[in-house]
Chains A and B, each alone.
Chain A
Amino acid sequence: EPEVTQTPSHQVTQMGQEVILRCVPISNHLYFYWYRQILGQKVEFLVSFYNNEISEKSEIFDDQFSVERPDGSNFTLKIRSTKLEDSAMYFCASRPGREDYEQYFGPGTRLTVT
């Protein structure tokens, strides 16, 4: 069964450094998402991406964040200058074109900012 993959599974970085989290969505999906989950808290929406552009973003998704689909298969989340509070699990998700389908989540990347 096709699945969403994410790399790396765990990333440790120093405050102020740039990080890129990578995702490979399921190949025929059209909608792509990033969510984050601070340890012990709920899953929060960051951004959705469709037709090569951002379709919606949350208040969390400020100028420090950017997304890209550089080559038609990868979907990346970049944090330009990480802060301690960016430490969280980051989930990528994708969905087919049909409205009534669920989002398929990747296994997550745990980002630790020291």
Chain B
Amino acid sequence: AQKVTQAQTEISVVEKEDVTLDCVYETRDTTYYLFWYKQPPSGELVFLIRRNSFDEQNEISGRYSWNFQKSTSSFNFTITASQVVDSAVYFCALRTGANSKLTFGKGITLSVRP
């Protein structure tokens, strides 16, 4: 069975603060894929990043960075210098197998105050 745990439920920061969203996953498969999606108030799911289990390189994209650590089964997401537009629900998700479903965590509601 696979599982994604996002222990933080709500985070509130002031604009320009850095914030890290935690994600811990469980799977017995050796090949798997990890994802982060953003759900703004408008409701759509916006893809942010995909990582496969063989690629532990951290990634940076503008103000966003991701830290993948297989040793702790974690795939954490950091937003640097947060902005009000970052306010959304962020979901971490896991997929194993060639055509398998995405298993989502419960999501973290991030509020960035001006």
Name A's B-contacting residues (CB within 8 A).
31, 33, 35, 41-45, 48, 50, 55-56, 58, 89, 91, 93, 95, 99-108, 110
Contact = CB atoms under 8 A, between A and B. Distances in A.
Given A41-B106, A42-B107, A100-B50, A48 B43 contact: no
B98 interface: yes
Nearest to B4: A42
A interface secondary structure, majority: strand
B33 interface: yes
A44 B104 contact: yes
A99 to B, nearest CB: 5
B47 A100 contact: no
Nearest to B105: A42
B100 interface: yes
B102 A35 contact: yes
B9 to A, nearest CB: 11
Given A100-B52, A107-B44, A42 B99 contact: no
Contacts of A110: 43
A108 B99 contact: no
Interface string B16-49: 0000000000000000010101000001110100
Given A100-B52, A101-B50, A106-B44, 9 more contacts: A33-B102, A41-B106, A43-B91, A43-B104, A45-B101, A45-B103, A48-B100, A91-B45, A103-B102
B15 to A, nearest CB: 25
Contacts of A56: 99-101
A104 B45 CA distance: 9
